[in-house]
Amino acid sequence: MGTLFQLWLRGDNKGHLQSVAFKAWEEVDRLELLLSRYDSRAEIARVNREAVERPVRIEIELFTILQNCQHWAHRTNGYFNIAYASNVRPIGSEKAAPFTLNEEQRTVHFAHDTVSLDLGGYGKGYALDRIAELLRSFGIASACVHGGGSSVLAMGHQENGDPWTVDIPHAKDPSRIIHRRSLLNQGFSYSATMPDDELVADIVDPHQNQAIQKADACWVLSPSALDAEVWTTALLAMGREQAEEAFSGVLDGASEIGWA
C-alpha cells in the first residue's frame, strides 16, 4: 500500500504482543500482494494486465472485495469508483459498468481496454479491519493502528484509561489542529485534496474523470476503518455542498462525518 503502518498494542505479555505484531505485519504484506496495483506480482496487478482480454479467475477474497466495491459504488452514486480512470461510465450510472463479475466462475472481466482497477481508496481501511480481527483472535483488547496517519483504527483504551484520540488538521493549513476526537472502538479516516498550487490531489471525481481541484478535507468516524476510508474518498469526490445536502452529518446511523 506504499505507506507506513504503525501499531500500538497493550497487554501483559510482551513476547506475545511481539509475535502478534509480527503476524500483523505479515498480514499487511499479504494484503499488499493482493491489492497493490504498483507491484506487478500482486493479484490486482494481474487482473489489470489480463482482464481486458478474457475473464480472469481471482481469489475468493479479492472477488468479495470487488463485489463490495460495486456495492459501495451504488451506495455513493458512483462517487466511490475503483475504475475511476477507465474513461468509461462509472459504476452506478445507466451505462455499462467498466467491469463485470461472474460469481459462478469467480471471474472479473473488463468492458474496455482502458479499464484499470485502483484499490487505493479501500486497501488501508480493509487492512486495518483485518488487523483488528487478527488482534482480537489473539486476545488483544486494546490497540491502535494506523496506515499513513490518515487511516486509524482503535480498540479499547490507552494505558491510563483514556480513549485513543486523533487530531484533525485544517485542510489548507495542516499544522493547525481544529478537532480532537476520541475513538471508541472505531475506525477513522481523513482525506484531503491539495490546494491548487501544491501537489495534484490523488482523489478523483469519477463523474468528471479528473482530480479534485479545490482544497478541502473530510473525515469520517465509523465502527469500521474500511467504511470510514471509503466514505471519505466518496464524500470528497462528491464535494462538500452536495455531500452535506445528501448526508447531513450522519451517514448510516453509525458513522459520523466532518469537514476540516
Give me the sign of the Cα torsion angle 129, 134, 140, 146. Answer: negative
CB 146 within 8 A of CB 182: no
Rounded to whole angstroms, the Cα distance separating 216 from 18 reads 39
The type of residue at 56 is V
Supply 161's cell numbers. 484509561
Minimum distance from residue 111 beta carbon to another protein (Å)? 21
Contacts of 12 (CB under 8 A, 6+ apart): none
Minimum distance from residue 103 beta carbon to another protein (Å)? 12
Minimum distance from residue 130 beta carbon to another protein (Å)? 13
The type of residue at 29 is D
For cell 495534484, the residue is 200
Minimum distance from residue 51 beta carbon to another protein (Å)? 12
CB burial readout 62-82, b (16+ within 10 A) else e? bbebbeebbebbebbbbbbbb
- Which residue blocks in 36-185 are alpha helix, DSSP H? 43-50, 60-75, 123-137
Q: Smaller CB distance to another protein: residue 65 or 183? A: 65
Minimum distance from residue 133 beta carbon to another protein (Å)? 12
Minimum distance from residue 12 beta carbon to another protein (Å)? 9
Q: Smaller CB distance to another protein: residue 14 or 180? A: 14
Q: Smaller CB distance to another protein: residue 39 or 256? A: 39
Q: Smaller CB distance to another protein: residue 35 or 237? A: 35
Which residues contact another protein by CB under 8 A? Answer: 13, 15-16, 18-20, 22-23, 25-26, 30, 33, 39-43, 46, 56-61, 106, 137-139
Q: Smaller CB distance to another protein: residue 30 or 214? A: 30
Q: How far apart are the first and last CA of the chain?
A: 25
Torsion angle (degrees, nearest 10) of CA 218, 224, 227, 233: 30
Q: Smaller CB distance to another protein: residue 57 or 176? A: 57
